[in-house]
Amino acid sequence: MSCPPEPATFRLLDALVGWDESEVQGIVGLDDINGLTLQPLANALSSQAISMAIPPAYLAKACDPCRWYLVSCCPPQSRLLLLDSCAPGWVPVRANRCAPDVLQCAGAIAVQGDRIAISDHGAGRVWVWRRGGAELAFAIAIANPGPLAWSRQLGLLVVDSDRLRLRRFDGSGAERPGAVRLPGSAERIAVDARHRLWLVTYDNDLFRIWRLNPDERQFLPAALADLLAAFPDTGLRHAQEHHFCLEDMVDGTPRLRCFDCHGRPSSVPHDVPREIYERQGQLLTLAIDSGIPRCRWHRVRLDAGVPARSKLEFSVSSHEEPNPPPQAPAQILEGDWQGFSGGRPNPADWSADAADPRDFVISQPPGRYLFVRIRMTGDGHCTPRLRRARIDMPRQTSFDQLPGVFADNPVAIDFGQRFMALFDSAVEDMDRVIERYPALLDTDGVPQELLPWLGSFLGVTMDSAWTSARRRAVIHALPGLFRKRGTPEGLSRALSLLLGADPAILEAALSRPWSATGSARLGNVRLFGRSSARLRLGSSGLGSAPVWSVGNPDLDPLIAQSFRFDVMLPSAPTPELRRQVSQMIESQKPAHTVARLRYGAGGLVVGIGTAVGIDTALVAQPPPVIGGSDGARLGRRTVLWSRNRTSGTPIQTGKASAVGIHTLVE
């Protein structure tokens, strides 16, 4: 039972509040937040039943519900095919001529947005394309890749069939730690809206269903009812290993199109698919108390899904007593509902709106208590789904604001209230959207699917490989980053959010080694050479100083090495992430400055200009290469190898060691 405020204005029926069930027949999901459904049959676990929630591995549904992707079976060579509901059949994806040619013998596909991932066990690769197949992003080497799926939190999930492991990869193809052991041979996998991973195994001619929650490390057995409640109906019918049928709606009429694994049209199978659900189900509630004597119950609103060839009926009946005596036999003969309870007080008292069963005004005499009857029907292959019911009371409409002449008789009052309720409901829905709009700006409470939309208001494009926690942290930090943009602190914070590690920023102007004679000490600092900084008549030697045409020569000691800084990171990220780091530095630094990006190479040189970062180890110095983009340049900070240098050994005090000036090793 719910605990409404005083006075109560509405009552909810759902899995969180409760359904106040009195009698239940053929309906399950009373404790499931996904809602009530018809009860699945005990022997319904088959490829057809599973395909209603998860397509076979060789099929994938795009974000557009009218588009499907298919990797054709082999032999011959596999192809990537696309089906649009408006097109007569499958067409090859040839946005890039190289895309279809790399496939040899593919067996699984997964689609997320414009990214397509294909498991090709013939090539021993997992191919990943961007832009709907127009650009090959990367390839992952796996000897025998199996089913795969995209997850917004975990990245790309790939089954390693030889090792019976589920491996994870980020958006650039780098493998993430934490492979999970599979409980059997994976037949297909999928991730639901709650980020739970579902696995279907097939061993010894037997299907089994498993579920892995986001915070768990082990698959747990699950039932078919749980699987069907976690995913919407895919529209797949007669799905087998080399044959499937797609059902869609055309002008309100169901259409069934069948294809083989090559995408060629085929005839509808003569065999009748095994039924999955019960055909009928009913739920009767206890008396729902309004707390108002002779209450005029107002409105019913349902959050429900009713597919084709199924029906949902929500009926109500009011009474002034909570336990009225039954006025009909317990089991009634009512058309197709023979054997179901008629409910109280009388089966003839139930009323519902046949025009729109999901939103209607209650037409019942006044009564403190309301009884509810929920009936579901289907064809055995689909089921209605009722997630929540809201019952408003007492009746209050804008009719009460009209002049009294409109309420001169009971018939006019009833008609006027029901008529004005139509407009009141539309205004109420708009008010509710306006009231809840500030919640969309709550970074912590907004659903993670809306985080990219929320970031677009602040000019941030979310990387698909970012976790929801990182996306929320970025949005939280954006106001502060805008205020500190162009400062070392702002750049350091931005890179920390992107990489998860704090960079070191060294400004060259702050580490100038020269000084003035008034405060200089011989051996510690060196003086700034005015004659060698720029050419000066009468003081500079010929060929020893550059010729500058701009600037004040007297300010050379102050502006030398100004507007230059180094960004040092502990380790070199992937090429894709390295490109993103460079772009972020260019976007965050002042336009007149010059930045240099440096990565830790696994060791350090002890001496002047040493940059000690995170996880620094004393190892052998890399071989110097003169020239090139990353090569060495002769100067004060360059250390050259000796001819008899010992390679592959850690740094040692003595022969073949690079030790700085006056360095003491203890």
Task: Average the pLDDT over 515-532 and give the result.
Answer: 62
CATH assignment of 10-37+277-396, given 2.40.30, 1.10.1740, 2.60.120, 2.30.30? Answer: 2.60.120
Q: Determine the pLDDT at residue 100.
A: 47
Least confident span in 26-30, 146-150, 467-471, 474-478: 467-471
Give the C-alpha separation, 584 to 112, whole Å.
26
Residue 403 has pLDDT above 70, yes or no: yes
Give the C-alpha separation, 18 to 24, whole Å.
14
Q: Residue 554 gets which letter from DSSP? A: G
Taken in order 597, 601, 607, 613, the sign of the CA dihedral is positive
Residue 655 has pLDDT above 70, yes or no: no
Which percentage of the chain shows pLDDT scores above 90? 19
Distance, C-alpha 301 to centroid of its chain: 29
Angle, vertex CA 160, rays to CA 154 and CA 166, nearest 5: 30
Q: Please give the biggest Cα pair distance in the chain.
A: 121
Q: Determine the pLDDT at residue 19.
A: 94
Q: Determine the pLDDT at residue 77.
A: 83
* DSSP states along 458-526: TT-PPPTTS-HHHHHHHHHHHHHHHHTTTSHHHHHHHHHHHHSS--EEEEGGGG--EE-TTT--BTTBE
Residue 588 has pLDDT above 90, yes or no: no
Q: Determine the pLDDT at residue 195.
A: 84
Of residues 518 and 501, more confidently modeled: 501
Of residues 536 and 105, more confidently modeled: 105
Least confident span in 1-10, 55-64, 469-478, 561-570: 1-10
* Tokens, residue 607: 């001496």
Q: Which residue has the tokens 């805008």?
A: 482
CATH, domain range 40-266:
2.120.10.30
* DSSP states along 229-240: HHS----EES--
CB atoms within 10 A of CB 153: 13
CB 513 within 8 A of CB 523: no
Q: Determine the pLDDT at residue 374.
A: 93
Q: Residue 364 gets which letter from DSSP? A: -
Q: Determine the pLDDT at residue 572.
A: 62
Residue 451 main-chain phi, psi, to 5 deg: -65, -45
Residue 541 has pLDDT above 50, yes or no: yes
Name the most confidently modeled range: 87-91, 326-330, 396-400, 607-611: 87-91
* Tokens, residue 371: 């009884």
CB 621 within 8 A of CB 658: yes
Residue 226 main-chain phi, psi, to 5 deg: -65, -40
Give the C-alpha separation, 94 to 134, whole Å.
8
Q: Residue 83 gets which letter from DSSP? A: E
- C-alpha Rg value of the chain to the nearest Å: 35
In terms of Cα–Cα distance, which of 588, 397, 635 is closest to 493? Answer: 588
> 75 preceded by cis ω (within 30°)?
yes
Least confident span in 13-27, 51-65, 206-220, 651-665: 651-665
pLDDT digits (tens, 9 = 90+) for 249-298: 777 677 788 888 888 888 877 666 678 888 999 999 999 999 889 998 88
Residue spans of the domains in the chain: they are 10-37+277-396, 40-266, 404-438, 442-483, 601-666
Q: Determine the pLDDT at residue 99.
A: 46
Q: Determine the pLDDT at residue 608.
A: 42
Q: Residue 542 gets which letter from DSSP? A: T
In terms of Cα–Cα distance, which of 478, 489, 456, 465 is closest to 580? Answer: 465
Task: Average the pLDDT over 317-328 and give the result.
Answer: 83
* Per-residue CA distances from 288 to 4, 73, 392, 394 (Å): 12, 57, 12, 13
Q: Determine the pLDDT at residue 663.
A: 42
Of residues 422 and 453, more confidently modeled: 453
Give the C-alpha separation, 371 to 318, whole Å.
6
pLDDT digits (tens, 9 = 90+) for 131-155: 877 788 899 999 999 999 998 778 8
CB 397 within 8 A of CB 417: yes
Residue 112 has pLDDT above 70, yes or no: yes
User: 14 Cβ partners below 8 Å, 6+ apart?
Assistant: 33, 35, 387, 388, 389
Domain 10-37+277-396 identical in fold to domain 40-266 = no
Q: Determine the pLDDT at residue 619.
A: 57
> 7 preceded by cis ω (within 30°)?
yes
Residue 484 has pLDDT above 70, yes or no: yes
The SS3 of residue 440 is: helix
pLDDT digits (tens, 9 = 90+) for 153-171: 788 999 999 999 999 998 8
Residue 219 has pLDDT above 70, yes or no: yes
In terms of Cα–Cα distance, which of 277, 348, 359, 267 is closest to 310? Answer: 277
* Tokens, residue 644: 């008899």
Residue 483 has pLDDT above 50, yes or no: yes
Please give the helix or strand (H or E) that residue 224 lies within, else none.
helix 224-230
Which band of pLDDT confidence, cut at 50, 70 and 90, is reported for residue 658? very low
Please give the helix or strand (H or E) that residue 389 lies within, else none.
strand 385-392
Q: Determine the pLDDT at residue 387.
A: 92
Go through 308-317 and write b for each residue having 16 or more CB atoms within 10 A of its CB, e for each that does not. eebebebbbb
* Per-residue 3-state assignment (H helix, E strand, C coil) for 512-538: CCEECCCCCCECCEEECCHHHHCCCCC
CB 385 within 8 A of CB 36: yes
Distance, C-alpha 173 to centroid of its chain: 18
